[in-house]
Amino acid sequence: MSVPSLIESFHLHLRARGLRPLTQERYVYGAQRLHRHAGKPAEAVTGADGYAFLVHIGGTLGLSASWYNVLFTAVVRWFEFRSESVDLKGLRPQRRPLSPPRSLSVSDVYLLLEEVQNLRYQLALQLCYATGMRISEMLHLRIQDISRDEPLIWVEDQKGGGRRQVLLTPTLRTELQAYWRQWKPTGFFFERHPHHDPQPMSPATIRRAFHQARLAAGIVQPATVHTLRHSFATHLLRAGVDVFSLQRLLGHRSLASTTRYLTPASVSTHPSQVDLLARLRGTRS
């Protein structure tokens, strides 16, 4: 039996700490970038190398505050794992500007979804928009997560851990039931190849379908699958849903993350239906 490398041991350490898989991968990636920048074997990297790496990436053009903070934490976790001290000379995680997230209009969401030619991919994107799920959460949805009796879906939170509930509207339930009758998934709802490969669809497949549909719909505004989550939040606020309810639906630990969506244009004093898919259907008339 081979002895795991230092980076593999680091990965096992992160797993043992109970960090979610995506966080583990990002911290391992950050440690690998640190080693490449230092130009040394992993066991030879020092605290001074860690400081030099953070100074370097801090001046990198186009690196977001979010990614800087991921790499910053990866460096800290690496030296904790190595039981070595590191003097960061006052360096701290960067503060992210709390500007309102970009969202699509109701009509743009409708046009985009209509351009998705594959009906399986279309439903996957509809689910992201109708519930505010992240792409990873949508892809890991299982049959048993969908309540038969209540208008609820249980979501395994892929970012903060734990579980939360999202709304299962009548329109969405109808769409999911029709999908189940046709494809008969048994584990993950969106299997990669129904009846042949039970693993969930690849995120790259859904992102590619979204990108192609956005271009076909003539939407110039930059957008990703995650923009559907932002659109979900913005459209619910405009429909009259209060910010505390929205916080629970999005799975935000901090209310500050949710209040980013509050703008004069996003607040409605006339509550209306919150079945977003039903409202999309109304754009046809």
* Residues carrying an active site annotation: 134, 159, 226, 229, 252, 261
Longest dimension (CA), the chain: 67
What does the block give as tokens for 183? Answer: 């494809």
Residue pair 171/220 in contact (Cβ under 8 Å)? The answer is: no
> Which stretches does DSSP call E strand in the chain?
152-156, 163-167, 191-193, 197-200
Alpha carbon separation from 74 to 32, 38, 50 (Å, rounded): 10, 15, 10
Cα(140)–Cα(202) distance, integer angstroms? 10
Cα(158)–Cα(135) distance, integer angstroms? 9
Per-residue b or e along 40-53, where b marks 16 or more CB atoms closer than 10 Å to that residue's CB: eebeebeeebbbeb
The sign of the dihedral angle between the CA atoms of 70, 258, 203, 19 is positive
Burial class (CB in 10 A: 0-12, 13-18, 19+), 33: middle
Cα(195)–Cα(183) distance, integer angstroms? 8
Cα(118)–Cα(130) distance, integer angstroms? 18
